[in-house]
Amino acid sequence: MGTGGTFLQVLSSDSLSAPLSSITDEPDEYTSSPHTKPPTPPAPLIIPKRGPLAAIVRSESFPDSPGSPISGVIDLTHQIKTLSTYAFAHGGFADIHLAEWKRRSEDGEFQSIQVVIKLLRILTRQDVDGVRARKRLNREVYVWHRLDHLNVARMFGTSYHMGARPAIVLEWYQNGNASEYLKKNPNADRKMLIHDTARGLNYLHTLNPPIVHGDLKGNNVLITRACRAVLTDFGLSQVIEDLKGPSGNTTTMVQGSIRWQAPEIVLDDENNQKLQLTFPSDVWSFACTAYELLTGNLPYHNRLRDFSVIQDHIHGVKPGAPDTNIIYAPGPQDKIWELLDRCWSYQPYMRPLMKDVEAEMENMRY
């Protein structure tokens, strides 16, 4: 299907006339309200929400033109207006802006909602092939747009309104990321947020084809209005890695996330080997994120410099240890610490699968 045809199809589709209330971030499962929530707005193409992604990827091609709308993904270029020239937040490799989306309501009138747009900084670097970068990003956005899970951040579409730089349009989670949220709400249910994180990551790992997150940490776990956790930025770390300049320098992603990265990833990067992000490396990062959410401390919190973290990896030191003085979650902690310890095995094949981690979290929640 050509991109021009897709764009016209999107503009005329019923999905743009869905009621605004249908994009709220509180799914039925996560609220005690007696009122029925409206369904999630449909994708512009008729695709089963939880069908195998492999079939989707095989059935459609990605656009050749990097500046054109991505086939099967809603292009919101003419409906998005950035609310400020300056980003309100900066991630490891992206600038995040608040924006206004003029969306057609049920009665045909345009109404405005706030969203966030994420711009990858690497696309402005001189040593990056812009055409290849956009094509690589397109593939990740294409897959992300079709994901449907309570613990995965919702992506509405793309926009090219900021100087033709491709931007990802996401739901705005006003509670911010998990790290910020827990500083403001120290009595929040931390085990529940960790369990949510495990469920989201297990969903990514058990898709067909599966997805490796690659950069899981507290800043990449967002909190909904219902105070539940959703994952964001999965796959983007591999985009950055694939677009790394010919110098072989360590990427911003690895520099900013080294405390959460598995030892085999960190040490391979130090040896100028191409990073191979895997399910076991995600499991290590999950445990680091769980430690962060549970204790309020960063992994390897007693180390001030990333170099010291690398040395700890070389000597087999794990990111954290039980300390009842810094545990916020109520109840016995032995089981969760035993689980984190297994996730921190220095032998990747010894780490549990996320489906088993999720099952254990389910058993220890109550």
Q: Where are the domains of the chain?
A: 66-172, 175-238+257-365
Q: Report the pLDDT averaged over residues 199-215.
A: 93
Among left, alpha and beta (phi > 0; psi -120 to 50; other), residue 342 is alpha
Does 349 score more than 50 pLDDT? yes
Single-letter residue type at 166: P
Question: With bands split at pLDDT 50, 70 and 90, how would you rate the model's confidence at 25?
Answer: very low
- Give dist(CA 98, CA 267) in Å, integer: 37
Does 337 score more than 60 pLDDT? yes
Q: 20-24, 80-84, 336-340: which range is least confident on average?
A: 20-24
Number of neighbouring beta carbons within 10 Å of residue 10:
20
Q: Report the pLDDT averaged over residues 113-134.
A: 69
Question: With bands split at pLDDT 50, 70 and 90, how would you rate the model's confidence at 1?
Answer: very low
Angle (nearest 5°) at CA 85 between 79 and 86: 120
- State the number of CA atoms in the 13 A half-sphere of 6 facing the CB: 21
All residues at 6 or more sequence positions from 321 whose CB lies less than 8 Å from its CB, including other chains:
none
pLDDT: which is higher, 318 or 272: 318
Question: With bands split at pLDDT 50, 70 and 90, how would you rate the model's confidence at 326?
Answer: low
Residues 234-273 have pLDDT tens digits of 766 555 555 555 444 434 444 468 999 999 999 876 555 6
pLDDT: which is higher, 77 or 32: 77
Residue 339 — φ and ψ, nearest 5°? Answer: -65, -45
Does domain 66-172 correspond to CATH entry 3.40.470.10? no
All residues at 6 or more sequence positions from 332 whose CB lies less than 8 Å from its CB, including other chains:
none
Question: With bands split at pLDDT 50, 70 and 90, how would you rate the model's confidence at 88?
Answer: confident
Whole-Å CA distances, 341 to 149, 221, 312, 338: 28, 21, 16, 5
pLDDT: which is higher, 196 or 4: 196
Does 154 score more than 70 pLDDT? yes
Which CATH architecture best describes the domain 175-238+257-365? Orthogonal Bundle (1.10)
Question: With bands split at pLDDT 50, 70 and 90, how would you rate the model's confidence at 133?
Answer: low
Please answer whether residues 13 and 75 qualify as being in contact, where contact means their C-beta atoms are separated by less than 8 angstroms.
no
pLDDT: which is higher, 55 or 155: 155
For residue 48, give both structure tokens: 């089963």
